[in-house]
Structure formats: C-alpha cells, structure tokens
A and B are shown apart, each in its own frame.
Chain A
C-alpha cells in the first residue's frame, strides 16, 4: 500500500507527555481547589485538565486516549450541569432564595480546621462542563477524516 505519510517513532514526545500529563493534571486540581482565595477556579482548572488530555491526544492517538480514558464527554457535560443546577436549587427547598450558598468550618483529619463551602460544588459542575465541552469539540474535529 502506497501512502505519503511517514510514520515516525515519537519516543521522546510520548515519554515526556506521560510525565507532563501528571504535572498539568495535578496543577489543575490545585488551581481548582485554590479558586476561592487565590486566582483560579473551575473554568481554568477545567481548561488545564482538558489541555493535559489534549497533550496525550497529540503524543499518542485519539483511539489510544479513548482506551485509556473511556469517558463519554457528553455525559460528563450533562453531569456537570446537573451538579451546578442542583447546588443552586437546593436552597429553594430550605425556604431560602435561589443560589444561596452555605459554609461551615469542619475538623478534617489531615487538613485540620477547614472551611467547606457549597460554592466548591458549583465549581465542580463548571469544571466538568468545561472539560466535557472542550474534549467533545476536540474529539469531534479530530475524528473527521
């Protein structure tokens, strides 16, 4: 079979991508949780996570990445929207206005005194929506031959 595409051995790129993926992913988790007091949050964290996955797609293959992370990103977007709406709608049943947030201080075993806020749940929804939408766009564009 005659082709005009040379298949090369991208060992260096693939090995680096494997390591750098984890650096970017954990940094995105950090950005996500740091969003309340420092710059960052769900949107930037989601974009960083999807860029880490895109790095894997560039280094390997769309099929390989789908085998590594068998996620339907449409469902991921839907889950994120449901989480965000549920967080926003919960105060209605408590007799408070829509989008009221709650927070309290808890004594967690490893972290000590920590303030947990329901805004983090809303941010989780944003995070899932951003990752889902970005990955859906990239998969759809990347697939069409």
Chain B
C-alpha cells in the first residue's frame, strides 16, 4: 500500500515539475508577450496544481493527515491563475503591446477601435 501511494505521489510531483519546467522554457523561447502569457498561465497553473495534489496525497496516505487547506489551494490556483493571465494580456493589449509579426488574425483590434470611438477616447 505504501509503495502504491509512493508511486502516485512521485508521479504527480514529477508531472508537475515537468510542466513547470516546460512553462519556464516557454517563457524563454516564445516570441511575444501573448504567447508567453499563454505558456505561463496554463502550464504553470497545471504544474503547481499537480505538485499540490502530490503533496496532499503524501500527507493523506503516508502521514495520515487530511489537509483541506491544500485542496483549497488547488481550487484557488485553478480559479485565479488563468484569470491573472487573462488580465495581464488584456491590459497589455490595451496599453499597446504589439503581437508577434507572424500573427495572422487579430479579433480584438476592431473591438477596441469601436470602444474607443464610442467613448471618445484619444490615443
């Protein structure tokens, strides 16, 4: 039983660490802010959640201590991580950060133009 629990714990924590490493590599390799935000908010969120699940299982199955705070942390990160990425990329788009030159489609641009015209905003 302990062996099985240990395998589960090691599996979850290594998957999480691999995801976090992929997020870090993505931050280096990707060309502009939006693709980097995509890498950071998605991959890092999943990685941290996976590590937390591993820690939770370790304390529950091996140390016999049920810690609901870790479950709350998983829920919290699941809710707030993507929203943080969304807010950061949206505010940088509105502040005028240009997307990568290879971008083929920009749906937000006409929308922002329309809002600027409606609210009488000058650049």
Q: Chain A residues in contact with chain B, CB under 8 A?
A: 1-8, 10, 12-13, 16, 19-20, 23, 27
CB-based contact A20/B112 at 8 Å: no
Q: Which 5 pairs across A and B sit closest by C-beta, in order of nearness?
A: A16-B83, A6-B121, A2-B122, A4-B122, A13-B87
Q: List 28 A-B contacts (CB under 8 A).
A: A1-B120, A2-B120, A2-B122, A3-B120, A3-B122, A4-B121, A6-B94, A6-B112, A6-B115, A6-B116, A6-B121, A7-B119, A8-B94, A8-B115, A10-B87, A12-B86, A12-B87, A13-B83, A13-B86, A13-B87, A16-B79, A16-B80, A20-B76, A23-B72, A23-B75, A23-B76, A23-B79, A27-B72
Q: Chain B residues in contact with chain A, CB under 8 A?
A: 69, 72, 75-76, 79-80, 83, 86-87, 90, 94, 112, 115-116, 119-123
B75's closest neighbor in chain A, by CB?
A: A23
Which residues in B have their C-beta under 8 angstroms from that of A13?
83, 86-87
Chain B: minimal CB distance from A9 (Å): 9
A5-B121, A13-B86, A20-B79 given; 17 more Cβ-contact pairs under 8 Å: A2-B122, A3-B119, A3-B120, A3-B121, A3-B122, A4-B122, A6-B115, A6-B116, A6-B121, A8-B90, A8-B94, A12-B86, A13-B87, A16-B79, A23-B72, A23-B76, A23-B79
Q: Of A1, A4, A6, A27, which is in contact with the most chain B CB atoms at under 10 Å from its CB?
A: A6
A1's closest neighbor in chain B, by CB?
A: B120
Chain A: minimal CB distance from B53 (Å): 18
Chain A: minimal CB distance from B93 (Å): 10
Which residues in A have their C-beta under 8 angstroms from that of B86?
12-13
Which residues in B have their C-beta under 8 angstroms from that of A23?
72, 75-76, 79
Chain A: minimal CB distance from B123 (Å): 7
Indicate which residue in A1, A4, A5, A12 contacts B83 across the interface (CB closer than 8 Å). A12
Complex CA distance for A20 and B81, rounded to whole angstroms: 12
Which residues in A have their C-beta under 8 angstroms from that of B94?
6, 8
Complex CA distance for A19 and B79, rounded to whole angstroms: 9
Chain A: minimal CB distance from B76 (Å): 6
Complex CA distance for A4 and B123, rounded to whole angstroms: 6
